[in-house]
Amino acid sequence: MKNRREFFKTVAGAAAGAYIAGRGVPALAQRGQGGGRGGARGGGAAAPRGPRKQISIGGKRVTVIDVHSHCTVDGVAEVVKGTPFERQAGGRALGTDRIDLIDSEGIDIQVLTINGYWWWEIPDRALADRVVRAQNEGLAKWVSDHKDRFVALSSISLQFPDLAAQQLDYGVKQLGLRGATIGGHVNGESLSDPKFDPFWAKANELGVIVFMHPGGADNIVKDTAWKARGDIGNIIGNPLETTYFLSRLIFDGTFDKFPNLKVCGAHGGGYLPSYFQRTEVACDVRGNAMCANKKHPREYLKSNIMADTMVLTDEGLRHLVAEMGVSQVVYGTDNPLNWPVPVEMIVNHSTLTNDEKIQILSGNLMKLLKITTPATA
């Protein structure tokens, strides 16, 4: 419960306003015409309407796809009414302010996911299924109403792995969803546990992206460790949860079992891609590593694992691409939260080539999300 409170508190905190500090300065300054970031991002006041920003590279219009955004859908409230989960249904409803936001930021297509993952704590299978159904149908409806601008990933009841597989199958085949979103664990259990294989097998079979978003590493570190300045439950907890999650999938052999998996870790994939060396040699040098992986960890990093661009600095992004290969890195904003993630960080990057920028901004995702129409607006 604590974590969800933290999660929503964070949303409120973000709404309090943008602050310019240190290395964030140039990034934020470029957001000028977006305006109203604080208010609009909290889901309250309307952002001033501005023209839709269109991104070009080398004189050519390029499509920009944002892999990392958050939302909620209204239909869930009705489903959980009168249950212990009643208070957790909403918070980030989609509306015209979201379209204004992506217009102002130069995002042509946004990948929508619902997280917080509170529904994984629902012990009742039927209720869990109804919640996910409401989420997925709500997402599908929004996407259908705004076809050119959004795609969505399926929520799944991963506490019931067989049900999760069915939901993903239905979501992709019947509702037009493009993949699944998950957290770093389910009620503290590692997703490399064989009990989750039915879900992984389905994602593997469908060849769809799995977007992983952490929730503050509450499965790993006791809450008290995060009671400190710097919002370190988020700043350290989130990349930590992702690092642990990806480490388990590597070392427990999950990627060997399901070699088609494409798992995209939020926030630059946590620490793992940027600080890969320890993971890379663990099986070789640590006597108690008990590695089950069949391939060198580097091979998963360059094929199964993907990451969004949220390392937040020019040099950090250069390094991320150098470590993973450009095919594994995709633009992500964490919309509507307030991070210094303007598209200009990619467009004006100091070392990436134009081709690499285009791959990151949309090329990689168009293939994976099966988006066939480039932006023309």
| Residues within window 126-145 making contact with other proteins, judged by CB under 8 A | none
Does position 339 interact with other proteins (CB under 8 A)? The reply is yes
Q: What distance in Å separates the CA atoms of residue 136 and residue 172, rounded to the nearest whole number?
A: 10
Q: Among residues 211 and 226, whose Cβ is nearest to other proteins?
A: 226
At closest approach, how far in Å is the CB of 271 from other proteins?
4
Quote helix, strand, coil % in the chain, to nearest 5.
45, 10, 40
Which of 155, 137, 231 is closest to 199 using CA atoms?
155
Does position 319 interact with other proteins (CB under 8 A)? The reply is yes
At closest approach, how far in Å is the CB of 30 from other proteins?
13
Handedness of CA 87, 221, 337, 306 (dihedral sign): negative
Q: In what order do the strands lie in the sheet containing 65-70?
A: 65-70, 109-113, 150-152
- What is the enclosing helix (H) or strand (E) of 29? helix 24-29
Q: Among residues 77 and 232, whose Cβ is nearest to other proteins?
A: 232
Say whether the peptide bond before residue 336 is cis (omega within 30 degrees of 0): yes
**Contact pick of 26, 77, 276, 325 for other proteins (by CB under 8 A):** 276
**Contact pick of 235, 299, 302, 344 for other proteins (by CB under 8 A):** 235
- What is the enclosing helix (H) or strand (E) of 109? strand 109-113
Q: What distance in Å separates the CA atoms of residue 89 and residue 75, rounded to the nearest whole number?
A: 9
Q: Among residues 208 and 282, whose Cβ is nearest to other proteins?
A: 282
Q: Given the structure tokens 């042509």, which residue do they identify?
A: 108
Does position 225 interact with other proteins (CB under 8 A)? The reply is yes
Is 134 within 8 Å of 122 (Cβ atoms)?
no
At closest approach, how far in Å is the CB of 133 from other proteins?
32
Q: Among residues 17 and 58, whose Cβ is nearest to other proteins?
A: 17
Q: Among residues 155 and 247, whose Cβ is nearest to other proteins?
A: 247
Kindly indicate which of the ranges 86-94, 124-132, 168-176, 214-222 contains the residues binding other proteins, using the contact rule CB under 8 A: 214-222
For residue 179, list its beta bridge partners.
Answer: 209
Kindly indicate which of the ranges 14-22, 65-73, 142-150, 162-170 contains the residues binding other proteins, using the contact rule CB under 8 A: 14-22
Q: What distance in Å separates the CA atoms of residue 74 and residue 69, rounded to the nearest whole number?
A: 17
Is 41 within 8 Å of 70 (Cβ atoms)?
no
**Contact pick of 29, 45, 46, 290 for other proteins (by CB under 8 A):** 290
Q: Among residues 20 and 144, whose Cβ is nearest to other proteins?
A: 20
| Residues within window 155-174 making contact with other proteins, judged by CB under 8 A | none
| Residues within window 16-55 making contact with other proteins, judged by CB under 8 A | 16-24, 28
